[in-house]
Homo-oligomer: A and B are copies of this chain.
């Protein structure tokens, strides 16, 4: 891997902390939770209050939804941004939402604290450059068939435009396996902790597409070195307009947070950051 000048870890630059509101991403475990998409005021407000109560640090919610079919629900757009902002303001949670068009970047910046680049747009270089010119942290999901090297190059595209607040998120790669929606590549999390100073997240909701796998995959991601988790939570999963099958209820999220906190605590006591790196002989 050549010429990854800005994203690479070094002794002088071992780790980056991204500060958003009172939340310091890259220190301990940060949990980002919320619905796949903002659907209406009641849904986002109730979900926001719910996840906040359980301990989420950031609220997610899609306003512009990239969907496989042009006939599927495409998100509420501007209205979705406004409702998400309102939910963030009411709860005091910073909010993150996806941006999918270079022309929307500055609009989304008005409403969101963190800009998300989705898996399908990971190599949309025009979009990467545009978010690189903002002062907002960028949450960069891995493309479904992107190598670690390609992914780091995409982070480099953003940082080259002088935005150094980049967060990486593993969300599953496409394989032949059909039991899970994608295959969560937790070794990529550990690899990235060795290669880059940027915070690394895992998103087991999108990776697995199965609620019963989210808890064990969150625990495993923490042991792999993840700095945070992104998880889909909905106040009423059965009625979610997208990804209904994998969203957790508030009650489930409450249990999840308890276990995540226990795992984070265990990892701290284990001294994960200072574990020896094998094979250096």
Contact = CB atoms under 8 A, between A and B. Distances in A.
A126 B100 contact: yes
A145 B217 contact: no
Given A69-B153, A186-B186, A281-B238, A224 B216 contact: yes
A259 B217 CA distance: 19
Nearest to A158: B70
Interface string A182-196: 011111111101100
Contacts of A277: 212
Nearest to A281: B238
Given A177-B148, A212-B279, A123 B126 contact: no
Interface of A: 2-3, 66-71, 100-104, 120-121, 123-127, 144-145, 147-150, 153, 156-157, 160, 173-180, 183-191, 193-194, 204, 207-208, 210-217, 219-225, 237-238, 245-246, 248-249, 252, 255-256, 259, 262-263, 266, 270, 275-281
B211 A219 contact: no
A37 B162 CA distance: 27
A21 to B, nearest CB: 29
Contacts of A174: 145, 176
The A interface is mostly helix, strand or loop, or mixed, namely helix
A266 B66 CA distance: 40
A281 to B, nearest CB: 7
A179 B196 CA distance: 14
A176 B191 contact: no
B259 A179 contact: no
Nearest to A181: B187
Contacts of A210: 279
B275 A259 contact: yes
Contacts of A246: 279
Contacts of A208: 187
Given A148-B177, A148-B179, A215-B275, 17 more contacts: A70-B153, A70-B157, A101-B127, A102-B102, A103-B126, A124-B124, A147-B177, A173-B176, A175-B176, A179-B188, A183-B183, A187-B208, A211-B278, A212-B277, A215-B276, A216-B275, A223-B223
Q: Can you list the 3 inter-chain pairs with the closest CB atoms, starting with the nearest?
A: A211-B279, A145-B145, A219-B223
B216 A178 contact: no
Given A68-B150, A70-B156, A180 B187 contact: yes
